[in-house]
Chain A
Amino acid sequence: MSAPTLPAARGSLPPEGAAPPWGGPAAGLGPALLDVKGLRVAFGGQEVVHGIDFSIRAGEKLALVGESGSGKTVSALSLLRLVHNAEVSGSALLQGRDLLRMSEHQLRGVRGDEVAIIFQEPMTALNPLYTVGDQIGEVLQLKKGLTPRQALAATVELLASTGIPEPARRANAFPHQLSGGQRQRAMIAMALASAPKLLLADEPTTALDVSLRGQILDLLADLQRQHGMAVLLITHDLNLVRRFADRVAVMERGHLVEQGGVAEVFGAPQHAYTRRLLASKPERDVVAAAQAAAEPVLRARGLRVGYPVPLPGVRGWFRKGEFVAVQGADLDIAPGQTLGVIGESGSGKSTLALAVLGLLPHGGELAVTGQGWPEALRAGQARALRQRIQVVFQDPFSSLSPRMTIEQIVGEGLLVHQPQLTAAQRRERVVVALADVGLVDDPRHGSDWLQRYPHEFSGGQRQRLAIARALIVGPRLLVLDEPTSALDVTVQKQVLGLLQRLQRERGLSYLLITHDVDVIRAMAHDVLVMKDGQVVEQGPVQNVLESPGHSYTRILVQASS
């Protein structure tokens, strides 16, 4: 996708509201556009936001950062009373009018007009039954009173200003016909249609691939400058804040613990939580790369994985097409080493993981500890091979069965691979495994945990449980499919630290799949870059990340710094 280009002449749109009459965006100390005081939000009597104060001046970029559950999204959305079942108190003055005391009718005039919102997931935020042009035009007709013909012209112009190529054609496209980045651009065009004074951007880049994030952020910054609107950016990503915001407000468990200019807060954080957040970048603490050529734990040559896909039309009745998800990958993992696989969503990296685990049929050569899946199956040794390779998945909520106790979940591998153990021996091993992954401090107290169910654990604890389940059978290779991308940054650091320790202590090999360059930098010895099913670059981690050979790798590396 091209970098955002902005049309030199922006017609009649959306300019009028751009320059606020009460002070220019650069005025610095102008009066507050939005002044929030003592905002409290509660659900069913349980308070989740405990009285926060912040203000945004016209044309200012304020970032609200915090981990999941800190209340940042709820705080922002409850300003427009968009949170279901929430009891909101306090005051939020938008140019002197209190949003929290407006009637629903008055508030409807504010929403999407003076205050617009961009959501995290453009696929669900756009209505799939209408074209993008219809949806943007609707805003223009409602809020600006344009005729349908004028609205169409203005829509095309808006889409052009967000850098969508061929805007006139895209206006007639349905959301599913656009790429993820284009959809988010269309969302931005829709938000800008009413020339808002304040834009609430709720994790606007989180659902996008890394290489697109920078582009969308640059686009937002450009448009913000042109229109002189204020932006409240809600995010958990400190890199984004550093690049984008003027001021930052840090939230922790419903409290605003610190706010100030980005340079001051990031340069000299006052609050302990801010310091912890800033120090959460994962650190590299792994054994040196192997020199001697030991027998590889995993070896693949020309690995190829395809899915059958239906063909369109009559042809599809008789045969299936094939979508090749992984094409000709070569990989080697030495004992005690980590191979990082990096790529965007749809690049085939998770398919690669499933093929290595023997859960998908594959072509080419693949040997786990010297044995391939088909041979193992023929020899009746598939079970023994499964013991040597285990997996940890991304989503800690779907990877543990909600109706099994911790003892059943972690002990299941023993039931399969060491059926001779008695229940008491099995329990003992489970407790030891829980201690190994740092869930319990002392194995003697571990039995308290055994009868609990997964819903009582946090995301990080669940991921430790998933690691314990994999480790208990004593694997030599662990496939880690985005093991930390569903976790908060501070928890991510702890889990990566755990994985590093386990590797040092047990000489485990990891096949680490991720989209996050920081994780690769901290964990991997070798790295393999995938794009559209192809391996575009591979080699030792320093070489690839310091001097990327392929343009795609360069984009990835740049986006992470």
Chain B
Amino acid sequence: MAAASPSRRAWQRFKRNRLGYWSLVIFCVLVVASLFAELLSNDRPLLVRYEGQTYFPMVRDYPETVFGGDFETTTDYLDPFIREQLSRGDNWALYAPNPYGPKTLNYFAKEPNPSSPTRDNLFGTDDRGRDLLAQLIYGFRVSVLFGLALTAIGVALGVVTGAIQGFFGGKTDLAFQRFIEIWGSMPELYLLIIFSAVFAPSLSLLLILLSLFGWMGLSDYVRAEFLRNRQLDYVRAARALGLSNWQIIWRHVLPNSLTPVVTFLPFRMSAAILALTSLDFLGLGVPPGTPSLGELLSQGKNNIDAWWISMSTFAVLVITLLLLTFMGDALRDALDPRKADQ
């Protein structure tokens, strides 16, 4: 009769919160779906059968001549001529549900760019003629992956530094706290602007810069938990048993100090997504051409008549952040010690 561990009981309490639980489910489905974005939204067919031979345009480039075209260049599968070639006789092609990639320009749109939603472009196009739905799918993926990476790095740094300060205390703690005060008073935004002027903008540069400043808040929480837990009797008993410092940290103090870390995860993630979006909006973020929600928002601002750009981007952003916030609320309730045994 194995009994429920504290984390298992917390998970059961989390599941009891319907809103938070379903937010988690939906969010996971969206993230997994966006990881397979190439299958959902792609300007190349997934599979082509042309004159008795099978081609995989999704993973390989084929010159147009293969499909009866005139040029040696890579096939443009949106070209009406190629489309016709691929549907003649026994030929067939399996297209992605949304036949545009994030960078595909729709040269065959019936309206000037940005084009409003049509049968071809379900969500319309942006001011360069790229399909908005494809932009949103890939932009969501970039945002979520960036948020995950930033959260993971921030958590790792925060936990390690907080653990060192809290567990060893005394002079270590004092020195580290002063360092955090100095580091924390650096003007983050100006540094970002300066660095984006000096270096070529890229996602990894952004990740490094934001990580450098993102760990301090969590570090303080972990430090406080460690300060509290290290003087409890079970830690003393572990010392009396002869465990080393690192064994005590790893086996005893850390598992009991993770509550604030877990509670803040969704909120940190939504903050990270929001940070990337704002920087992109300001033009300080990802390199041009990368699908990005912030860049779409700024397009929406510049083309205020093209309501489909701002509305759909806004909706994606709100839904993402809302799901994360609901998850965070449910998690906070599940880990609240005062509600622990209800």
Q: Which residues of A contact B (CB under 8 A)?
A: 44, 354, 357, 359, 382-383, 386-387, 389-391, 393-395, 398-405, 412-413, 416-417, 448, 451-453, 455-456, 466, 469-470, 473, 479
Contact = CB atoms under 8 A, between A and B. Distances in A.
Contacts of A386: 240-242
B204 interface: no
B237 A402 contact: no
Q: Which 7 A-B pairs have the closest CB atoms?
A: A386-B242, A399-B233, A393-B233, A451-B2, A403-B255, A401-B234, A452-B3
B240 A390 contact: yes
A387 B241 CA distance: 7
B35 interface: no
Contact of A453 (B3, B233, B342): B3
Given A386-B241, A393-B233, 11 more contacts: A357-B239, A387-B242, A393-B237, A395-B233, A398-B234, A399-B232, A401-B252, A404-B251, A469-B241, A473-B241, A479-B240
Contact of A391 (B4, B236, B251, B255): B236
A453 B5 contact: yes
Nearest to A357: B240
Interface in B1-57: 1-7
A492 B206 CA distance: 61
B256 interface: yes
A479 B237 CA distance: 11
Contacts, number: 77
Contacts of A473: 241
B242 A391 contact: no
B243 interface: yes
Contact of B5 (A382, A395, A405, A413): A405
B242 A359 contact: no
B152 interface: no
12 contacts: A390-B240, A390-B241, A391-B237, A398-B233, A399-B233, A400-B234, A402-B6, A404-B252, A412-B241, A413-B241, A416-B247, A466-B237
Given A391-B236, A393-B233, A402-B6, A448 B241 contact: no
A401 B252 CA distance: 7
A401 B256 contact: yes
Nearest to B232: A398
B238 interface: yes
Contacts of B237: 391, 393, 399, 466, 469-470
Contacts of B7: 403
A417 B243 CA distance: 9
Nearest to B252: A401
Contacts of A405: 5
Nearest to A473: B241
Given A393-B237, A398-B232, A402-B256, A416 B242 contact: yes
Interface of B: 1-7, 232-234, 236-243, 247, 251-252, 255-256, 341-342
A401 B241 contact: no
Contacts of A391: 236-237, 240
Contact of B236 (A359, A416, A453): A359
Given A44-B342, A403-B5, A394 B241 contact: no
A417 B242 contact: yes
A414 to B, nearest CB: 10
Contacts of B251: 401, 404, 412
B234 to A, nearest CB: 5
Contacts of A466: 237
A455 B256 CA distance: 14
Contact of B256 (A394, A403, A453, A456): A403
A383 B242 CA distance: 6
B3 A412 contact: no
Contacts of A359: 236, 239-240
B209 to A, nearest CB: 35
Contact of B238 (A354, A387, A412): A412
Contact of A382 (B238, B242, B255): B242
A164 B82 CA distance: 101
A212 to B, nearest CB: 26
Contacts of B3: 451-453, 456
Nearest to A416: B242
B119 to A, nearest CB: 57
Contact of A416 (B2, B234, B243): B243
A170 B5 CA distance: 51
A382 B244 CA distance: 11
Contact of B234 (A390, A399, A417, A455): A399
Contact of B255 (A401, A412, A448, A452): A401
Contacts of B6: 402-403, 453, 455
A399 B232 CA distance: 7
Contacts of A417: 241-242
A109 B91 CA distance: 92
B56 to A, nearest CB: 49
Nearest to A386: B242
A412 B341 CA distance: 27
A412 B243 contact: yes
Nearest to A406: B3
